[in-house]
Amino acid sequence: MIEFILNGNLVSTNSDATTRLLDVLRNEFNLTGTKEGCGEGECGACSVLIDGDLVTSCITAIGSIKGKTVVTIEGFRETEQYKVLEKAFAKAGAVQCGFCTPGMILAAHALLSKKSRPTYEDIREAISGNLCRCTGYNMIVDAIMIASKEGKGLW
Amino acid sequence: MVKGYYPKTINEVLEILSMEEEHMLICGGSDLMVTKKFAQNMIFINQIEELKEIKEDSNKIYIGAGCVYKEMIDNEIIPEVLREAIKHIASPAIRNIASIGGNICNASPAGDTLPVLYAMDAIIVKAFINKDGNLYITRVPICDFILGVRKIALEKNEMVIAIEIDKESYKNMTYSYYKKVGGRKSSAISKLSFVGLMKIENNIIKDVKMAFGAVGPTALRSREGEKILIGTKISDIEEKKEAVINFYDKLIIPIDDQRSTAKYRKKACLNLLNDFITYKN
């Protein structure tokens, strides 16, 4: 049995140690905000936060997160930071099909947690592992810049 | 069903390894989870603090095998040229979990830390426990540790615990040079890469170290090729250039694959080599 903290609650799973964190989240905990795109860690749709760091859950074995803290988009939704990012993404038109959005939001939060006033270059670097095939990225970059200004003191 | 082990110390790992069963070490898992080739017993080593140490003394630096790229990019003990290479690996999310020990032991021809480690004559530090229960530490140069595509000199009871780099190999270099050629800036597996370190004193090349990545089964480095340049006056580089480029033209034998062609790889390698040796002119 592997125990970890999921969105603030202590949980456990009996899945094989090499089961993908992504599958545990979606299949055992019904947290379907975490998406599967490429399945190889290259698109970022499955991004979650582990101990505050952005990680692609499709290439994370459940065994490697024993005792760690996992936050998915569902857990992050409850935060003040999320509200700022949600508004900013809406304002900038940074969401079209929405498939990349949970990963983009968490990548944005991971960046802003380290650097609350990033440059455009920092933002592009921070979302460089998150693919979006709709918006062409500019609106997402703008949204994160808006959030960094609107979210004064939150990050 | 796969069995997971969660040791907290290097000693605990070695004890598990000394048992007879088939097992495999997994750190970040960013390569292993894609290939999905697991053993019956998986030993998770990503939470062993002893493997995350980065330290230095007056002669060398020591990098724990479990150090992830993110920790290395931010640490000034790590040589700048290695940090530069790491910045171009994968994406932020992967750099949060992928370890240097994993990159070495995975022994991919396109492993991006490998040419840099070859150029700096990095030493791989291995540990094992023998039948009497005594701990042994052995050291092997990286070029003797990596034997071929995904082949390494590691016995079943051994693990890589660290990488050591002699400061002489990169400090006091006049300049260092690193270029990766990939399909895009981020999340790209190298088509090829090149690293060069050059030491110039009194306008004479005192030392030079060069390695190429992703153009052969292992990173490619040749002391013979470097010796063509050593001792050359900077003003005479143009005359030596042809001999050096011809030498590497014969030495580099890339392949065609889904990422690039042999022809492109060879040409780009030689162009980067040319750019490096004439960089400060």
Give A38 to chain B, closest Cα distance, Å: 10
Tell me, yes or no, whether A88 and A146 share the same domain: yes
Q: Does some domain include residue A61?
A: yes
Q: Which residue on chain A is closest to B47 by alpha carbon?
A: A64
Tell me, yes or no, whether A65 and A126 share the same domain: no
Q: Which of residues 167-196 of B touch A (CB under 8 A)?
A: 185-187
Model ipTM?
0.97
Q: Which residue on chain A is closest to B48 by alpha carbon?
A: A64
Of A59, A107, A128, the CB nearest to B29: A59
- pLDDT at position B280 is 65
Tell me, yes or no, whether A87 and A129 share the same domain: yes
CA gap B265, B167 in Å, rounded:
31
CATH of the domain at A48: 3.10.20.30
Q: Do A41 and B1 touch (CB under 8 A)?
A: no
Q: Is A63 on the interface with B (CB under 8 A)?
A: yes
Q: Which residue on chain A is closest to B24 by alpha carbon?
A: A18
Q: Which residues of chain A have a CB within 8 Å of the CB of B182? A: none
Tell me, yes or no, whether A39 and A8 share the same domain: yes
Q: Does some domain include residue A59?
A: yes
Exposure b/e, B61-85, CB count within 10 A at least 16 = b: bbbbbbbbbbbbbeeeebbebbbbb
Would you give per-residue pLDDT tens digits along chain B (281 residues)? 899 999 999 999 999 999 878 999 999 999 999 999 999 999 999 999 999 999 999 999 999 999 999 999 999 999 999 999 999 999 999 999 999 999 999 999 999 999 999 999 999 999 999 888 899 999 999 999 999 999 999 999 999 999 999 999 999 899 999 999 999 888 889 999 999 999 999 999 999 999 999 999 999 999 999 999 999 999 999 999 999 999 999 999 999 999 999 999 999 999 999 999 987 65
Q: Which residues of chain B have a CB within 8 Å of the CB of A15? A: none
- pLDDT at position B21 is 82
CA gap B168, B170 in Å, rounded:
6
Exposure b/e, A58-72, CB count within 10 A at least 16 = b: bbbbbbbbbebebbb
Tell me, yes or no, whether A69 and A93 share the same domain: no
Tell me, yes or no, whether A12 and A52 share the same domain: yes
Range of the structural domain that residue A90 is part of: 80-150
Tell me, yes or no, whether A116 and A100 share the same domain: yes
Tell me, yes or no, whether A71 and A127 share the same domain: no
Which residue ranges form the domains of chain B, and what is each CATH number? Answer: 50-168 (3.30.465.10), 172-277 (3.30.390.50)
Q: Which residues of chain B have a CB within 8 Å of the CB of A54? A: 92-93, 96
Q: Which residues of chain B have a CB within 8 Å of the CB of A20? A: 33
Tell me, yes or no, whether A64 and A95 share the same domain: no
Q: Is A139 on the interface with B (CB under 8 A)?
A: no
Q: Which of residues 86-145 of B touch A (CB under 8 A)?
A: 90-94, 96-97
Chains A & B: contacts with CB separation below 8 Å = 92
Q: Does some domain include residue A155?
A: no
The length of chain B is 281
Whole-prediction pTM value?
0.96
Of A16, A60, A129, the CB nearest to B2: A16
Q: Do A61 and B29 touch (CB under 8 A)?
A: yes
How far apart, in Å, are the Cα atoms of B240 and each of A108, B236, B247, B270, B277? 50, 7, 11, 14, 10
Q: Does some domain include residue A20?
A: yes
Q: Which residues of chain A have a CB within 8 Å of the CB of B6? A: 63, 66
Of B1, B70, B93, the CB nearest to A47: B93
Of B1, B2, B92, the CB nearest to A128: B92
CA gap A119, B24 in Å, rounded:
42
Render pLDDT for B12-38 as a digit per residue (tens, 0 to 9): 999 999 987 899 999 999 999 999 999
Q: Chain-centre distance of CA B194, in angstroms?
A: 12
**Total count of domains within chain A:** 2
Would you give per-residue pLDDT tens digits along chain A (155 residues)? 999 999 999 999 999 999 999 999 999 999 999 999 999 999 999 999 999 999 999 999 999 999 999 999 999 999 999 999 999 999 999 999 999 999 999 999 999 999 999 999 999 999 999 999 998 899 999 999 999 999 989 99
- pLDDT at position A109 is 98
CA gap B262, B253 in Å, rounded:
7
